Amino acid sequence: MLLSEICLAGSKFRIIFNRKISADYPLLFPIVLMNDFPDFSDYHYQIEKELGHNRAGGRVTYLATDTSNQQPVVIKQFQFAKSGSSWQSYDTYDREVQLLKELNHPGIPRYLDAFQTQDGFCMVQEYKQAASLAASRSFNPDDIKQIAIAALEVLVYLQNRIPPVIHRDLKPENILVNAAGDVYLIDFGFARVGEGEVGVSSVVKGTLGFMPPEQLFNRQLSEASDLYGLGMSLICLLTHTNSDRIGDLVDITYQISFKHLVPKLNVHWVNWLEKMVNPRMKDRFPNALSALAAIPLSPLRPPEAQFSQSTLEFAAGQLGELLTQTVTIANPIPETTLEGQWEVAPYPYDPPAEQYSWITVEPKTFVGNQVRCRVTVDTHKLIAGKTYRRRLLLHANTLAKTYSLNVQVKTARMPVPDYFLSYGLLGLLGIFFAGLSSSTSVVALVAGTMTGSVSSAAIGTLVGSALGLECAAWLMYSSGWRFGAASSTLSAVILGGIVLTQIFSNAVKTVVTPAVFLGAGLGIVSGGLAGIAISIAVEKMLLGGSQKLLALTFPTLIAIVGVSIGLGSTIGMTNSLVLPPLIIGSLTLAIYIVHLQLKQAHFSLKHRRNERFVIKP
């Protein structure tokens, strides 16, 4: 059979059901036994439950009800008469009673009563609905800061008494915190009134790990002694270290190592705690008031800076352009405020910031948890066609202290003038015209020979070519290629001028024969193809960035030279139809190209000279 117990609150009995005592003697009815709680009803106290005990020291703490007013109280019983206890501990009881009678602070439970029992003595204190820091629970960083402040304020009260009171047993178990964040110090059994040495014959009193070295070795205590225990208690709280494992953080020289357990703890708090628990008493804060005054204003966990992007990439479309981008800095840590200041990282080739700064950030300093910063790059003094890499440094009140934002700037290429030529395209165009004119002239010669008039066939071919160019111009214009149509028209005009020149100079005998019509038909086909080719070349050059005049002129000159070469390959280079256009077209084309190259070289040289005064990558 199984056992279940019900302890009646405030009763001196307990009822036991279904306890398996023996297989031969089943228990079929409840047995009423006396409980282990002492009976304090004669003193108008009724025990509710046990809160804690120290059997070796003969101390047991109970939660009880004062039946005279139904208020909860705490009764600490000193069981000196029981086995294992020592009556020599009576001074602990008496010291605590006498001290608590004199203390009056909201952070110290009030003394209410004391009475003697058969087993020893009892002390009654005000009950606080609060758990000790040793209990497993969670605090946010701001709560821990308030606990430190409140505990120090209690110590300031104790140390301001004359003579000062030294608690000597500050540890997580003796620091209570309720749901509202109120802090209470308890257990003044080891407290001393006044500073001074602990007698050599005295027993060291306190808790290992929370006693400062001077207390551990029975040396002179001071107001700095209690700071050690409080600091160690806060370290336990921050590092989630149990009281019985505090020795894991202390080395043989009594140095405390805890920073590795709190990597995100604000450095100001790390320094403050290290000073609280310094093994050398003279290196601690001299008293609680000094420790309270030095408590960091910043939160325990500092803010963080999260960037919307780690690199800003700028690309200039033209020289001297102002480029702007925005980066957002966010702080995700609650109850903290991010503060930052921007700086451009020094670079060997950059002028001093006070003289000229080509990278600026606005706002340069800020306070806020969601900040949009505008980064502006002035490319006015940067070399064309280069890539610049710089770093922006954000100095912030964070654990990292400094953040780096990479900035990459690609400047515009050196402005190539609009007279830039596509030599590959023009070369293909020239080859096309040479081939077209050569094949056309061969066919025209054959047709003229067959019809008996080569010159009439040649004139017909030229006239037909001019008409074909005009037909191509109309076709391209109707398709929306206006500049291509204009170039085809220009070629037709030039070709027409050549024809008229040849006719009026009697260089070609014009006789209207079937050869003329045959050559005209052939010319219309070849002229149409030539006009379409010229129009396409012009439009492509315009798309490539060439000036309109160049795009119209160069394909026409290339056509003239190409036709002359192709025609000369069949009828001879010295022919009057070949030599003048070839010479004039070639010279004009060569002079134009050399002029443009010299102009471009002059522009480049002038620009490079100016680069002596700009910022290098």
d(CA 587, CA 432): 20
Q: Which of 10-24, 77-91, 356-370, 397-411 has the lowest mean pLDDT?
A: 10-24
**For residue 303, pLDDT beyond 80:** yes
Q: Which of 43-47, 129-133, 215-219, 270-274 has the lowest mean pLDDT?
A: 215-219
Residue 11: the pLDDT is: 37
d(CA 26, CA 426): 117
d(CA 170, CA 224): 12
Q: Mean pLDDT throughout 365-377?
A: 94
Q: What is the pLDDT of residues 217-275, one digit of tens each?
A: 888 899 999 999 999 999 999 999 999 899 889 888 888 999 889 888 888 899 999 99
More confidently predicted of 432 and 160: 160
d(CA 347, CA 352): 9
More confidently predicted of 200 and 360: 360
Q: Which secondary structure element, helix H or strand E, spans residue 147, and what is its range?
A: helix 141-159
10 Å Cβ neighbour count for 596? 16
Q: Are 126 and 106 in contact (CB under 8 A)?
A: no
Q: What is the pLDDT of residues 494-514, one digit of tens each?
A: 766 766 666 665 544 555 566
Residue 57: the pLDDT is: 64
Catalytic annotation on 169?
A: yes
d(CA 341, CA 367): 9
Residue 601: the pLDDT is: 76
- Active-site choice (169, 187, 226, 350): 169
| Rounded percentage of the chain residues whose pLDDT exceeds 70 | 72
Q: What is the pLDDT of residues 539-553, one digit of tens each?
A: 777 776 666 777 677
Please give the domain boundaries of the chain with CATH numbers for all domains: 37-126 (3.30.200.20), 131-293 (1.10.510.10), 306-410 (2.60.40.10), 423-603 (no CATH)
Q: What is the pLDDT of residues 325-355, one digit of tens each?
A: 999 999 988 778 899 999 999 998 888 876 7
Q: What is the pLDDT of residues 145-177, one digit of tens each?
A: 999 999 999 999 999 998 999 999 999 999 999
Residue 132: the pLDDT is: 93
Q: Which secondary structure element, helix H or strand E, spans residue 304, and what is its range?
A: none
Task: Tell me the HSE value of 484 on the side-chain side, using a 13 A CA sphere.
Answer: 26
Strand ranges (DSSP E) for 159-209? 165-166, 175-177, 183-185, 192-193
Residue 378: the pLDDT is: 92
Phi, psi values for residue 350, rounded to 5°: -90, 140
Which two three-digit tokens encode residue 543?
């798309």
Flag whether the pTM goes above 0.85.
Answer: no
Q: Mean pLDDT throughout 553-568?
A: 72
CA distances from 59 to 62, 92, 109, 171 (A): 10, 11, 18, 18
